[in-house]
Each structure stands twice: as structure tokens, then as C-alpha cells.
Amino acid sequence: MRLGFHGAAGEVTGSCTLVEVAGCRFLVDCGMFQGGSEARSKNQRALNFGFDVRKLDFVLLTHAHIDHSGLLPRLAMLGYRGPIYATPATIDLLAVLLPDSAHIQEKESEWLLRNRHRRGKGERGIPAPLYSVEQALATLRLLRPVAYGEELRPADGVNVRFHDAGHILGSSWLEVLVSGEGKPRRLIFSGDLGQPERPVLHDPEKPGGSADVLLIESTYGDRRHRSLGETEDEIVDVVERTRAAGGNLIIPAFAVGRTQEIIYLLAGLVRSQRLRPLKVYVDSPMANTATRITLNHKELLDGETRELIAWQQAHPEKMKLEFVADVERSKSLNAIRSGAVIISASGMCEAGRIKYHLRENLPRRECSILIAGFQAAGTLGRRLVDGARLVRIFGQQVPVRARIATVGGLSAHADQAALLDWLGGFRQAPRHVFVMHGEAGSSAAFTAAIKERHGWPEVRPPLPGESVSL
């Protein structure tokens, strides 16, 4: 068996693992690197992946987030024509996320080209989009649905099951059973695991048994999240302070998962009368579509969420919720000087409509920016969290006078305690454990925590680009 770590090793984004076993070759995830200019250069270097994509037998996709799925169209462009297996909800989300990713790339290239022409420079050095909208749409035809718990046999001697990871809608951890080379082996790929006892989705299913190989995420492997109650207290404080100051509350949020969770929490706080009635604008076409997809998969939502959805629909005056679609309506939100809660993508402030709302509201002391998710190194969101007093948006220097507030309990990722508890589902130590999907310090801290808590000997983070024979 051979594993190739082509992303998310020593960092959070770019998940892509090549597995060669029992005469077949397959990928688990094929994600885009994210986080500023360094990520762009990594995506450019990853254009050929370092392996022959035409020799892949199949692809397994844990969930729809772009750092796990965003290079699938590039895979297809280079000649991959095999199946890409994912849950039905993941496939529904990819129909939105992949074309949108391509659209953003095309628009960024157009903007860079116009900017260089204005400065009297040529086109040389402008990165081309990794793929077009048409190529993203063509990739969707390779997707094949697999339900949770269903047995999939993508190749001779290989059985796969998708299990609920509780991270975002349709997210999975993967169980791969391989026979054909002596004793059958069990490989577990955690994907991204959700934090248990959080709203909207079911808790992550635990693994049980043992494993010959385990790849485990470590996004928050070095820390613990605040409790949901503490998070609600922080949200109430930010909303009421901003309302009293006469400003707007701007919430950058991932379109898939985070936006729906924030809507849930705000509605719950209004229902319990901890917040007075709110006017909430969801200004992200992708988030609007993702919310509709979420409502189309109510079987994946927990009981409390279904109950709260019914309450909000019965009491629209308590939390007026407007999903903003067209561009002109989006622009008109910038004329609102106070009392608005604007939820917009992207969650790391790198693209999309959120950048316009930040440009208008960051210079205003009476406004607040609520950071509610992980901010990768190099992103605009990370610079705000780190205390930047001046940021560049659309080529302009924008002063940061608004209050920057962070809440620590809204992560879609399990914290260290939850990850260790999930690992406790194994009845005996996996033979090989690779700690993935975390910045270097987080992965190292989680490696130490696994050894201390569970006493497992063979645990380590892989190196970027490393290939391991087992």
C-alpha cells in the first residue's frame, strides 16, 4: 500500500490523498489551496498533480467545501473520466460551489487584466483561471451519489462506506475495506469532523473497531472551542453593542454550513427573547441556494433545527429574513447606516460580496464585524483577526475602525476534546495514524495529545508531498 500526501499536510487546505493498493489507484478529495498569494502559487504548481490522473480508478469525496473539492475540474481537464463518489447532498452543493469557484477565478483574472491595462502594463504574469465555468459544469457529470451506510464497490477487492461526519450538509468520513493482497485492511479517512452537540446537523458518527491506516484532521487539534452557551452570550453582546452604537453588524460567513448555523442561532436568540426583533440580510447567491438545498434535505437536520425552522416561518415579523439575490439590491444595502445584520460570503473575506460590505463598514466606529469561523493564514479575514489597522480591498487602502469581534464556538470543525473523543470510538489502536488538515503547530499539538490520551505509538503528521509505503 502506498499513500501520497498531495495537500493538507502541514496546512489546512488543499486536501488530496493518493492511495495505491490492491492493484487500484484512487484519490480521497481533490481540494484547492486557499489563503492569499501563497495558495495561488500552490494551486498553479499543483496543475499537474504529480501523478497521471488518467490512471486513477475512482475518486472519493468527503464533502463539498472547496478546499476538498475545488480542483476536481482540473482533474477532469487533465483527462480523468472516472466516477467521483459523494453523498447526494454533497452533489447538490457541488452543483453550486464548483461553477461559482470557476466564476470567481474568471472575474479575478478579468479584474487583474483591467488593472494592469490601467497602469499601462501588459498581460504577462496574470494567472489564468484554473478552470472555466463550462469545465466545472462538465465535471458535475462525473459525480455518483452514495447514501450514508450504503456499501459501495468501486473496484475489485475494495468496499467503501460513507458515514455522517456532522461537519456540513452531506459531509462524510470514509471507511475503505481492501482485500486482494493477503489480509483485508481497513482504512479510515476522517475528512472534516463536526463538533458534537451543535445546532443544525446530527453529531458525527463514531468509527468503532480498529483500522490499519487512519488519516485524521487536526484543524483545531491544539485548542478547545467555547461552549454553545458562551457563544450565544458573545453574539448577544455584539448585536446589542452594535445596535446601541447605531451601526451595522457584518458577518463574513461560509455560504455552506456557517450561514445556516448563524441564521439558526439568531432565530433561537430572538425566540427566547434574548434579542429584540432583527432584520437580517443574507447577501450571497450561493448561501441562498445552499440554504434551499439544506431545506431540501431535512432528513439530515436534527429535531431542534426542524422545530426552529417551523417557528421562524410562523413568526416572520420576529426575525425578518431577506435573501438578497440581484446585484442592485446588494448594492443598496450599503445605503443602510444602522440596524442591519448582513451575512455574506466568503467566510475568509477573500472574494464575493462581503468585500463590498467590509469596504463600506470597516471605516465606521459604530459598526462591528463578527468573525465566526476559521481564517487561514494570508487571508483578509486573518489580517482583521490579527489586528490590522489598515487593509487593502479592491486595490484601495481601507482603515479599520469598526470593532472586530470573534466568537470561538461556531466552528464546523471538532475541537481537540471532540477529536480525541471521536478517536475513542476505536476499540484498539490503529496501526498507522497520519495527522492531517491542520497548520503545523496544530497538527504537532494534536499528535502529542493522541499519544498522551490514547497511548497510540504510530502517530505523526505527514510532510507536504510525502509518499509513504506501508
Same domain? For 152 and 182 the reply is yes
pLDDT digits (tens, 9 = 90+) for 293-352: 999 999 999 999 999 999 988 998 999 999 998 999 999 999 999 999 999 988 888 888
Query: What is the sign, positive or negative, of the torsion defined by CA atoms of 131, 132, 136, 141?
Result: negative
Is 227's pLDDT higher than 80? yes
pTM of the model: 0.89
Grid coordinates of 138: 462538465
The domain total for the chain is 2
pLDDT category, 367, cuts 50, 70, 90? very high
Span of 28-42, 121-135, 434-448 with lowest mean pLDDT: 121-135
Q: What is the CATH classification number for the domain harbouring 464?
A: 3.60.15.10
Same domain? For 113 and 175 the reply is yes
Is 223's pLDDT higher than 90? yes
| Comparison of pLDDT for 43 and 207, the residue scoring more | 207
pLDDT digits (tens, 9 = 90+) for 155-208: 999 999 999 999 999 999 999 999 876 788 999 999 999 999 888 999 999 999
The pLDDT of 400-428, averaged and rounded, is 93
Average model confidence (pLDDT) across the chain = 92
Predicted local distance difference test score (pLDDT) of residue 415: 95
pLDDT digits (tens, 9 = 90+) for 78-120: 999 999 999 999 999 999 999 989 988 888 888 777 776 677 6
Predicted local distance difference test score (pLDDT) of residue 36: 67
Give the percent of the chain with pLDDT over 70: 97
Is 274's pLDDT higher than 70? yes
Is 226's pLDDT higher than 70? yes
Same domain? For 11 and 125 the reply is yes
Which residue, 406, 435, 450, sits at the end of a domain?
406
Residue with cell string 458515514: 163
Domain of residue 286 covers: 228-406
Q: What is the CATH classification number for the domain harbouring 400?
A: 3.40.50.10890
Which residue, 354, 378, 406, sits at the end of a domain?
406
